[in-house]
Amino acid sequence: MASPAKADEVTSAPIGDPVAAVVSGPTNLDALKALVEKFRSDPECEPLTAPVFIQTLSRILGSYQGEETLPKEETEPEKIAILSAQLQCMWLATRPLANRMVFAAEGFIPKLCTLLRTYLHTPALVTPLARILSNLGTNETEELQTLLAQEEVPTVMVDAFRVHMENVDAVEIIAYCLQNLSSHPTVKNILLAAGIPALLADALRRHQREPRLLIPLCGAIQNICWDDVDNRHAMGSVGLVPLVVEALRAHLAGNPQKEVVTALWSAAEHLREECPPNEEAFQACGGLMTFFQAIQQLQLLGNAGPIVMDDEEEVDEKKKDKDEEDSATATTTTDAAAATTTVTTTGGEAATTVSPPTAPGETETEEGNGEPCPTCAHTS
């Protein structure tokens, strides 16, 4: 197999040992792993912010594009480990926004898609590839989103989602990537055509008791439903409304976390908005009582910003009955003209703010006017 980079590339690199460790991976796996750990602990360090390092990573990625250069999982496990570590370096290098633009300019995206398609059944490579594409898929720049929509990224990520549905770690990363990608209208259409509603329903059905998966899954639901009634109908047609309510009910019965309760609440609200069939499904599956229980739980957990729930008179009646049964107390704010139960959650609006699995730097895009939902811009 051809070496991932030529020796003269090492000697010509002006930023020293870190680049040498990356490009000489076949003979220095331990050093490559140490470099990954260094980058993890110090995301601002050189050479992560040096353009020449991105160019070096681009040459490495390019060296894996021919079939004869691709390591075989069954017979070359160490070379797979090397490629995985190199991809982790690329993932860490996509954290700064300026680097993401360089990645796009260097032609990384189609190369990453080719690798992901080739190694679709290899979790050790799918995970770092999904992390890279997730960071590139943030809604911080319209140019990147447009570029991603024109590439194979959405369809190959849906395929990865389908293949790794049982793998909790892979589903988590892929779901964050789908959440980020789904902020762009063109990508939403591609995801819908690729069957994402049924896959999101399947993931909720399988993983409703995995809190770390619920946040990105709900984020993807919100983004796809955002500002599009037709999409809400499509999402509701596969049974997502009762699945979201059931997941919320199950989470409330365990050890509830504010961020997860808020994510599930917001996903249900996005599905219901101006969509009568989804509203009917919500009422039929006991969503109203579950929302009341969520209100009480959010008050206990502490929160900041209002969520306003409809059908408040019915909620007040059920609240009274529940208070008599368990002596629980709940604070409600009632408007003199129309009873409005208000609780608080992050952001002051019914939109979820979530964190990816590793320490993120988050930004948000303002709501309204067809702008991306503010659950989208999350770097891992």
What is the DSSP annotation of 45-111? -TTTT-HHHHHHHHHHHHHT-SGGGSPPTTT-HHHHHHHHHHHHHHHHHTSSHHHHHHHHHTTHHHH
**What's the CA gap between 211 and 163, in Å, rounded?**
21
pLDDT of residue 331: 35
Sign, CA dihedral 74-75-80-81, equals positive
Q: What is the dihedral of CA 87, 90, 95, 101, to 10 degrees?
A: -130
pLDDT of residue 335: 35
pLDDT of residue 118: 93
pLDDT of residue 362: 35
pLDDT of residue 47: 66
What is the DSSP annotation of 297-320? HHHHH---SEEEES-HHHHHHHHH
CB atoms within 10 A of CB 144: 21
Predicted TM-score (pTM) of the model is 0.76
pLDDT of residue 65: 77
DSSP 25: G
Q: Which residues pair with 308 in a beta bridge?
A: 342
- Of the candidates 88, 85, 13, 25, the residue with the CA atom closest to the CA atom of residue 51: 13
Ordered by start, the domain boundaries in the chain are 1-136
Q: Length of the chain in residues, anyone? A: 380
pLDDT in tens, the chain (380 residues): 333 333 333 333 333 445 555 554 555 777 778 778 888 888 777 667 777 777 778 888 888 877 778 898 888 898 899 899 889 988 988 888 888 888 888 888 989 999 999 999 999 999 999 999 988 887 667 777 778 887 789 999 999 999 999 999 999 999 999 998 898 888 899 999 999 999 999 999 999 999 999 999 999 999 999 999 999 999 999 999 999 999 999 999 989 999 999 999 999 999 999 999 999 999 999 999 999 999 988 888 775 443 444 444 444 554 455 455 554 433 333 332 332 233 333 333 333 333 334 433 333 333 333 344 445 456 77
Query: Which residues, 6+ apart, have CB-to-CB distance to 325 below 8 Å?
Result: none
**What's the CA gap between 2 and 4, in Å, rounded?**
6
pLDDT of residue 353: 30
pLDDT of residue 333: 33
